[in-house]
Structure 1
Amino acid sequence: MVNRKELNPEGSPREAYGAHVRRRREDHGWSQEDLAAKTEYSSQHVSAVETGRKPPTLPFSRQLDIAFGTADSADSFEREWRDIRHSALLEGFPEYVAYEGRAVEIRLFDIGLIPGLLQTPEYAQTLAESHVRRGTISPEHAAERVSFLAERQAALERLRPPTMLVVMDESCIRHWVGGAKVMGDQMRRLVEFAELPNTVLQISPFDIGARRPFYLPVNLLTLPDRTVVAYAESQAQGHLDRESASVLPMLRSYHHLQAEALSQAASVDLINQTRKGTL
């Protein structure tokens, strides 16, 4: 007899999702192989999701809803997947990401860490694992954050990608995350990003001093109708702003920041100099 792992829906959102899958499958009298055939995934994948060893994804959740007939219902797997994903994120951020996916221009400013949209998987994984070690998030939430970031990055690789203007404080490339290989690959990723036809990458050097207008990370999105929304976050919460009276001054400040920052050529030179220390 095959060993059957007992599930604990109270253990974590991922385990609750897996228990939901098993309950639905057994209510239909299906084996894992039956469900795998209906979703076009392997039985090993179904088993891994049921037992919480693998996080659910949006495509898999949608296939489950088709198989079980739960699409657009209060009990849908896509709805549960979104709840799991959002539970690992700061307030306001899921709403921001919805705008990000259709923005025609994305302006970013970050301090201390490489902006998420430019992070390599290894860099992002190292950051997530550090949060787990400090006890600020669970391993399940860490996996969701890394997975969600990969989805955001993939969403920008469309036929007409947005223009991306990125200014990073010099601390972003001086702050060591992971070992030499992680940082070396991350520096190479920045250089490759700067070479794209729809991007501009600049470093705000330490000696900019009081001329730097922002002291927190800032994201500014220009939407297809040319309206601009802003998102900024602290350690504990995020805030999405759509009011022109407060967003437009932030956009002007961003332009001033770009004028004070290093040119892209000088920024890439500085990144390459920093990268030598990782070789």
Structure 2
Amino acid sequence: MQTLVALGLLVLALLAGAVTPVHAQTPAAWDDAMADFYAADAIMIKFRDAAPIRLRDGVPVNVAADVQAAGIDALHALAAGGTWTRGHDVSEAALDELRAEGQVRSGAPLPDLNNYLRLELPPGMDVPTALAQFGALPDVEWVGPIPKPVASAAVPNLVHPGGITGDVAADRYQQYLDPAPEGIDARWAWYGTNGTGAGVRICDLEKNLNRDHSDLGTVKVLNPGPNPANDDNHGTAVLGILAGENNGFGITGIAHDASLYFAATTSTEGFSLEGA
């Protein structure tokens, strides 16, 4: 469990640091082609760590200030008519605890993940305008567009003559196990220490998965879970390639003895990579 928590801290830190900041962009900086990849009615805002901004009754407030600063008043005025939600599904207390533990372990400051808020834009406000106006507020560290969910890759139909031979070494749909250039030579790695994935934890950030698949072992879902309406083919295929059971049928995963975890990027509340 300690290893999983440490990995979770690292992933959260990397996610927080990997987002490209958008500092006070002007409407002209928005390329029309970006509309194909980003939501047209919402933005994500990261507030400065020195100003702990939290949602209270659906409204952002600075919980460290007895009197709200002018910057918060301006924030409320700009967002009037919009809808605020937290950027993460994990509770405020849990994120605070993870951050404190991570800072002790790393000896370095970590971003406050509670300071991520999502705003469904007020009627009449577009993303370019929102990026410019919210990015200029004093308590805002950065503001950015929200990526649209990426369409799942097509999963081939394996049920046709010759598609599944029953021979793991010969099945052409498991070439990832073979030596290069077809695969990564996983079978050779299995002879090494922990080469089969024993003691390793793998977490897949996906839309959905089939937890009852006969070729997957136990998969622990870390967040509230996916929207059941989401397609589960891609997530199931990914986990199968990574750690499908070595049970004599179906496929064998690259690290088939690994422990599997799943974090949904799309819940009933919508798409949120930060939440996963």
TM range, smaller chain: under 0.3
The answer to which structure has the higher helix fraction is 1
What is the TM-score with the length of structure 1 in the denominator? Answer: 0.20
Q: Calculate the TM-score normalised by the size of structure 2.
A: 0.20
**Larger strand fraction of residues:** 2
